[in-house]
């Protein structure tokens, strides 16, 4: 499949299980026509290693920036979220320009998806609540209208 975009990002663990750890890993993200895939990455050799996960483009319901919190480490200043049925996948770009590029490209690709969200959460889901609206249910309806 042709590669549309490829960049090294930090990603937050999706915490699919209640017991999953909250951690951040450097991964190589590759956008193709159908999928966003992320791979383990050898930074020294600049080489792609094993596939760690992927999200199908047609399952994405929303793509948006996330509000950067105070005292954020310098490698996590440009977060964005890819929301699909599993919840949000949080990704951190190295610059605002790279983030803009990905968000723009992804928004274009998901524009015609069946399930789209009108509202989203502009802050992170963390420690069992949404930091924007303090709702304690992960599936809780977004608290801000998504602008395009
Ligand atoms: C893992 O932590 C990694 O962060 C995984 O990310 C992540 O999977 C796991 O989350 C999390 O438990 P450990 O390496 O310390 O085990 P990656 O796959 O990039 O290595 P996701 O789902 O975020 O890809 P859960 O929720 O899958 O358990």
Q: Is 139 helix (H, G, I), strand (E, B) or coil?
A: coil
What's the CA gap between 137 and 128, in Å, rounded?
7
ipTM over 0.90? The verdict is yes
Ligand 1 closest atom vs CA 24: 4
Strand partners of residue 134: none
- pLDDT tens-digit map of 81-107: 999 988 999 999 999 999 999 999 999
pLDDT at position 17 is: 87
- pLDDT tens-digit map of 2-55: 999 999 999 999 998 888 999 999 999 999 999 999 999 998 998 999 999 999
Closest residue CA from atom 13 of ligand 1? 21
pLDDT at position 18 is: 81
Closest residue CA from atom 20 of ligand 1? 52
Q: Is the CB of 15 under 6 A from ligand 1?
A: yes
Q: Is the CB of 25 under 6 A from ligand 1?
A: yes
Rounded distance from Cα 122 to ligand 1 centre (Å): 23
Residues ≥6 apart with Cβ < 8 Å to 27:
8, 9, 10, 11, 38, 39, 40, 41, 52
Indicate whether this model's pTM tops 0.90: yes
Residue 147: pLDDT over 90: no
pLDDT at position 1 is: 76
């Amino acid at each position: 499949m042709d590669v549309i975009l490829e960049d090294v990002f930090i990603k937050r663990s999706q915490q699919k299980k209640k017991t999953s750890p909250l951690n951040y890993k450097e991964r190589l993200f590759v956008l193709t026509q159908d999928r966003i895939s992320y791979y383990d990455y050898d930074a020294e050799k600049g080489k792609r290693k094993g596939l760690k996960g992927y999200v199908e483009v047609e399952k994405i319901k929303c793509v948006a920036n996330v509000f950067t919190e105070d005292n954020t480490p310098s490698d996590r200043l440009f977060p964005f979220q890819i929301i699909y049925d599993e919840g949000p996948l949080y990704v951190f770009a190295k610059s605002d320009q790279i983030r803009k590029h990905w968000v723009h490209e992804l928004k274009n690709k998901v524009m015609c998806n069946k399930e789209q969200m009108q509202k989203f959460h502009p802050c992170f889901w963390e420690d069992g609540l949404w930091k924007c609206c303090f709702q304690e249910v992960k599936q809780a309806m977004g608290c801000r209208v998504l602008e395009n």
